[in-house]
Structure 1
Amino acid sequence: MVKSITALLVAGALSVSTAQASLLYKVTGNDMAEPSYLFGTIHMICAEDFKVHEQTKAAFAQADRLIMELDMADPGVLQSMQTKLLDPQGRKLSSHVSEAQYELLDEFLTSTMGTGLTTFDGMRPFILSSMVMTSQLGCAQQMSYEGHFTQKAMEQQKAVDGLESVDFQFGIFDQIPYQEQVQWLMESLEDKAKAKGELDKMVRLYVAEDMEGLYKMIADTDAYADYTALLLDDRNRTWQQQLDADLQAPGSEFIAVGAGHLGGNAGIIQLLKDLGYAVEPVTTQTQD
């Protein structure tokens, strides 16, 4: 199986194993005065596939605070991300690819970004991989659940908090060998049909809220298996303690994180249950 970087970029947004198909979960117990809600996101999706169910809207409206992986309402977060696009060690992609791969990458960037590899040569490989993934979605307009909820929180004057910093999230990929990231990037371009097919399947499963199917699909990806602890498990355990404190504070929280953080034995759902909370799926219906 191709070790697609797509699996790493969307693993945190997709791989969940639950008995019932749902993206929304009600959290109660431990003497909470009012319920909070947990929602699994996908970080980028075509506009025509973007849906927010009425039950999700109602849960969000009840919440006093929005909690996400990053505080996207903070202008400093986006500014910090912009300063970290280049490889911190100054490495150049052109020095780590063959002549044929250089031409392939240069052609992709020229056709999609309007300028070739010389402009992007110093970027971190996973940033370019995200560009490839966005292109392979195959739609003119993409939507972000994080962006949507941030906008709604600001309109409704809700507090917004983040579970992690930009430095931490970029540091995750710094722990994955550079050459391996380059390999994943090139494989996504060298076998476009397979990479797009995998991405399309993931999106279909997400839209269908088929968490079990998503979990099985991602679990079959070698690259994902190699970095499960780094991308998901270790972060989930850190979030467990932070979310416990958040849930015990006055008010109600709407927690929106990549759906891959929800399921499995080290997922947020199980970790909250381990602390004594009841975490129950909310049945949703698609609303146009």
Structure 2
Amino acid sequence: MLKRFSTLMAAGILSVGSAQASLLYKISGNEMAEPSYLFGTIHMICANDFTVHEQTATAFNEADRLIMELDMADPGVMQSMQTKLLDPQGRKLSAQLSEDQYVLLDNFLTETMGMGLTTFDGMRPFILSSMVMTSQMGCEQQMSYEGHFTQQAVQQQKAVDGLESVDFQFGIFDQIPYEEQVQWLIEALEDESAAKAELDKMIKLYVAEDMEGLYRMIADTDAYAEYTALLLDDRNRNWQQQLDAELQAPGSEFIAVGAGHLGGNAGMIKLLKDLGYSVEAVSTQVQD
């Protein structure tokens, strides 16, 4: 099985085992004065597939604070990301590629970005993997749930907080072998039809809020198994403690994180329940 790491990374989806099809969960109990909400995002999706259901919008509007993986309302976050695009050790992608692979990547960058590999040679592999994934989505306009919620929070003058820093998130990928990241990048280009089909299937499952289907699709993806703790489980446990403090503070929260962080034995739903909270799926289906 090819390693669709760029797809998994951007979607943030894995180990989702919710019994009810939903992306929105109500958090209550544990002596909370008022409920908060947990929402599973996909980090990039075609504009035609982007939907914020009425129930989700209501939950967001009623919340006092928005909590995401990163505080995207902070201009310093984007500035920091821009300074970290290059590999910190100065490594070059071209040094890892065969002649055919070089041509393949160079052609892709020239066609999609208007500049060849020489311009992007020093970039971190996972940044280019994100470019490949965006191109393979097959739509001119993409939307970001994080971007949408940030914009709404600013308009409504809500406080925005981040669970992690840019340094921390980029540091995660520094713990994955550089050579392996390059291989994931090339595999997505070498079998483009398979990568597109897998991405399309994943997005359809997300739009349908089919958490069980997403779990079944990804559970056997060998690319992720080795790094589940690094990319999901350990981060979830860190968030568990941070969110416990936030949920016990006055006011209510709308928590929007990658859908892959919600389910599974080390997912946020279970971890919050372990702390004594009630976490209930909120149906967003249109009622007849």
Q: TM-score normalised to the size of structure 1? A: 0.98
Contact 1:25 1:281 (C-alpha < 8 Å) held by counterparts: yes
Q: Which residue of 2 aligns with 1:252?
A: 252
Q: Which residue of 2 aligns with 1:115?
A: 115
Gaps of 5+ in 1: none
Provide the rounded CA distance (Å) in 1 between the counterparts of 2:258 and 2:70.
Answer: 11
Q: Which residue of 2 aligns with 1:188?
A: 188
1:19-52, CA deviations, whole angstroms, 9 ceiling, x for partnerless residues?
0000000000111000000000000000000000
CA distance change for structure 1 residues 77 and 214 in 2, over 3 Å: closer, same or farther?
Answer: same
Q: Which residue of 1 aligns with 2:270?
A: 270
Deviation of 1:98 after TM superposition, in Å, equals 0.3
Q: Which residue of 1 aligns with 2:154?
A: 154
Q: Which residue of 2 aligns with 1:32?
A: 32
Q: Which residue of 2 aligns with 1:92?
A: 92
Contact 1:54 1:285 (C-alpha < 8 Å) held by counterparts: no
AA in 2 matched with 1:25: Y
Deviant stretches of 4+, over 4 Å: none
Q: 1:64-75, aligned counterparts within 5 Å?
A: 64-75=64-75
1:209-246, CA deviations, whole angstroms, 9 ceiling, x for partnerless residues?
00011112111110111110001000000000000000
Deviation of 1:250 after TM superposition, in Å, equals 0.2
Contact 1:14 1:206 (C-alpha < 8 Å) held by counterparts: no
SS in 1 for 2:108: helix
Provide the rounded CA distance (Å) in 1 between the counterparts of 2:197 and 2:286.
Answer: 25
Gaps of 5+ in 2: none
Q: 1:175-254, aligned counterparts within 5 Å?
A: 175-254=175-254
Provide the rounded CA distance (Å) in 1 between the counterparts of 2:14 and 2:138.
Answer: 19
Deviation of 1:7 after TM superposition, in Å, equals 4.4
Provide the rounded CA distance (Å) in 1 between the counterparts of 2:42 and 2:136.
Answer: 15
AA in 1 matched with 2:137: L
Q: Report the aligned-residue RMSD.
A: 1.1
1:85-125, CA deviations, whole angstroms, 9 ceiling, x for partnerless residues?
00000000011100000000000000000000000000000
Percent of pairs identical after alignment? 82
1:139 aligns with 2:139: yes
SS in 2 for 1:129: helix
Provide the rounded CA distance (Å) in 1 between the counterparts of 2:144 and 2:118.
Answer: 29
Provide the rounded CA distance (Å) in 2 between the counterparts of 1:231 and 1:8.
Answer: 10
